[in-house]
Amino acid sequence: MTIMFNKNPLSPPDGEPRNERVRFHGLNAGYPGRPVLHQLSAGVPALAVTALVGPNGSGKSTLLGVLAGVIAATSGQVRYAEGPPPAFVPQRGAVGDTLPLTARQTVEMGRWGERGLWRWPTRQDRTVVDSAMERLGVAHLGARQLGELSGGQRQRVLIAQGLAQQSDLLLLDEPTTGLDPEARERITALLTALVADGTTIVQATHDLEAARSADTCLLLSDGRLVADGPPAEVLSPQSLSRIWQPT
């Protein structure tokens, strides 16, 4: 696969000008002996929330992993507009809620890429961590064990870890799944505020309410892109019943 960085906002091949943070084309990816994504082509608009939606196993996390650079595509291209590498926040379960980590230590892990694992945190690292925790409303939870926090608090700690990576491109895997409506709304509002501050967000989600509040949706089914556009169009009753049809 080819990864390219562009100085200018990306334009789709048809030439229509559109400000995109990422564009992928003809993307195929998967796991050894298990192809998952098939010929995906789409763009991620800059300064917007893009929701990756689709049934279990449709390839949302795999696509997010490819965009994050943690899963190698077997073929195709991913082009990033100029900017720092993406910050990736995996699914809550992937972090291991039982690890003996405090909330603050979890957020500090977001600085490892910049600082290296074995170096002491600098004053700058501490400032970045403080500000990410304040932004997500978790500064008061710093000394608490991650496993003791509520689902919504844990999720905000993980998003703070993403912010601590100081990227303008934040990739979130299921940030609102399993949360109560109040915690979900709080996270959705935070994501909107982050976009207003200059961040581009891609979230994989099962949560149709979260997807409906995104600016744009990519609907996946069996590793193929079946719709791409505003939520009102992509998440129409017809497409939802077609994709989620019981087999």
The residue ranges that bind ligand ATP (CB under 6 A) are: 31, 34, 36, 54, 56-62, 204, 206
Q: Which is nearer to ligand ATP, 56 or 241 (CB)?
A: 56
Nearest distance in Å: CB 71, ligand ATP? 9
Nearest distance in Å: CB 235, ligand ATP? 16
The CB density around residue 11, as the number of other CB atoms within 10 Å, is 15
User: Where is 131: in which H helix or E strand?
Assistant: helix 123-135
d(C-alpha 57, C-alpha 198), whole Å: 31
Q: Which is nearer to ligand ATP, 32 or 198 (CB)?
A: 32
Nearest distance in Å: CB 62, ligand ATP? 3
> Max CA-CA distance within the chain?
56
Q: Which is nearer to ligand ATP, 36 or 183 (CB)?
A: 36
Number of H helices, E strands in the chain: 10, 10
Nearest distance in Å: CB 239, ligand ATP? 16
Tokens 């996270």 map to which residue? 187
Residues in contact with 208: Cβ distance below 8 Å, sequence separation at least 6, in sequence order:
53, 235, 240
The two structure tokens encoding residue 236: 């129409």
Q: Which is nearer to ligand ATP, 46 or 67 (CB)?
A: 67
